[in-house]
Structure 1
Amino acid sequence: MTKMTLGSYPHMLGFEQLERLLERTAKSGNEGYPPFNIEQTSDFSYRITLAVAGFAEEDISITVEDRQLVIRGRQTDDSEGRVFLHRGIAARQFQRSFVLADGVDVGEAIIGNGLLHVDLTRAKPQSVVKTINIRKG
């Protein structure tokens, strides 16, 4: 059986990059931690909220790498000298990745009450009509 790609459809020109983005998203390997929400806050804005209880501002980094929003968290192990009778809260690291479409910009990030909010905005699309002149060859 032959794998169908976007390039194999004759009316889908220039979508090779979209296909690569879809493959990269499928391979991103995001596990279920930390849990997150994505909400649409207006017609052209979004908010990603991650549950990051126990992480301080300096434990989290947010970067945009090749049209991909990457949020990383790394807690320092502060258990030295402490004796735990039960340790159910582990200091673990995480990485969450979100592929951004063209025109989506990352705004501010706010942390509070164990939640990290990252605001995104999308440029309003402009309707473009272009007339192509035909010349004799």
Structure 2
Amino acid sequence: MRTLDFAPLLRSSIGFENLNRLVDFATRGEGDSYPPYNIEKLGDGTYRISMAVAGFDRDELDLTVQDNVLVIVGRADQPAEGEKREFLHRGIAKRAFERRFQLADTIKVTGASYDNGLLNVDLVREIPEHKKPRRIEIGQTASGEPTTIEHQREAA
């Protein structure tokens, strides 16, 4: 049973219509842990995803970002005709994969590099000006006087 009641949370929240979808996505988990990866914080607002993709060449990897989802796809190309390899032990897995990362609205992918079997994807948090905290001044009414609430007592 995976039904959760978000009514108490939604009473004090505005703009979280997709909260149910995100919680479902987070609790679903991933059955396959291939390929292994790290997510590290490099500094204030900068991050890096490092993925171990040993055996893959640059042209066998594809990175796309769409609708705040980073998708990394690895295609295991078949060996060329006449190139027959016989393994006595195959410990380096090279199989096709697709790994998805849900990104926040403020996270942008700035670049990617491939070095020594590690795919590094650099991310940065960019908060737009309209999303930054701002101070709201409390003004007065149009007449310049403080607002008062008058209550008239009803005749019984």
Range class of TM-score, shorter chain = 0.7 to 0.9
Task: Determine if the alignment matches structure 1 residue 22 to structure 2 residue 32.
Answer: no
Larger radius of gyration: 2
Unaligned runs of at least 5 residues, structure 1: none
In structure 2, relative to structure 1, the CA distance for the partners of 1:132 and 1:98 (3 Å cut) is farther
Q: Percent identity?
A: 43
Aligned-residue Cα RMSD (Å) equals: 2.9
What is the CA-CA distance between 1:8 and the residue it aligns to? 5.2
Distance 2:17 2:115 in 1: 40
Task: Determine if the alignment matches structure 1 residue 72 to structure 2 residue 73.
Answer: yes
What is the CA-CA distance between 1:126 and the residue it aligns to? 2.1
TM-score by length of 2: 0.72
Return the structure number with greater relative CO, CA threshold 8 A, min gap 6: 1
Verify the 8 A CA contact 2:54 2:94 in the aligned structure 1: no
Q: How many pairs align?
A: 136
Aligned partner (choices 96, 103, 124) of residue 100 of structure 1:
103
How far does the alpha carbon of each residue in 1:68-112 deviate from its partner, in whole angstroms, 9 at most, with x for none?
111110111227533334444443011111111011100110001
TM-score by length of 1: 0.81
In structure 2, relative to structure 1, the CA distance for the partners of 1:47 and 1:90 (3 Å cut) is closer
Aligned partner (choices 105, 127, 133) of residue 133 of structure 2:
127
In structure 2, relative to structure 1, the CA distance for the partners of 1:21 and 1:89 (3 Å cut) is same
Distance 1:7 1:16 in 2: 14
- Comparing 47-56 and 85-94, the one that deviates more: 85-94
Unaligned runs of at least 5 residues, structure 2: 143-156
After the TM superposition, which residues 1-137 of structure 1 pair with which residues of structure 2 at under 5 Å, given as runs? Answer: 3-5=4-6, 9-27=10-28, 29=30, 31-78=32-79, 80-124=83-127, 126-131=132-137
